[in-house]
Amino acid sequence: MVEKKIDILKHVLVPKHQVLSEKEKLQVLEEYNISPIQLPVIKSKDPIVKAINAKIGDIIMIIRKGPSGEYKYYRRVAD
């Protein structure tokens, strides 16, 4: 029996996830006048974190589509 792999990044219910560059990370923190510790956490063992190869300390931007446009959310990868 052949095991079929599923690409969770292409699932209709999974919003777009993107690891921010160092420059983008600093811009977001400055824009919201916060430190990384103030961001909500996403666990390093989360399947999405593994799929996009994010590391502990990275900040992930999540783009969700809503009735009136796109919304950006930020999460800090933690252990």
* The one-letter amino acid at 27: Q
Class of domain 17-78: alpha beta
Predicted confidence at residue 53, as pLDDT, reads 96
Q: Are 60 and 50 in contact (CB under 8 A)?
A: no
Domain ranges in the chain are 17-78
Summarised one tens digit per residue, pLDDT across range 19-40 is 999 999 999 999 999 999 999 9
What are 10's two structure tokens?
């292409």
pTM: 0.87
Output the CA torsion 25→26→31→35 (10° steps): 90
Rounded Cα gap, residues 32 and 77, in angstroms: 18
* CA-angle at 33, arms to 56 and 55, nearest 5°: 10
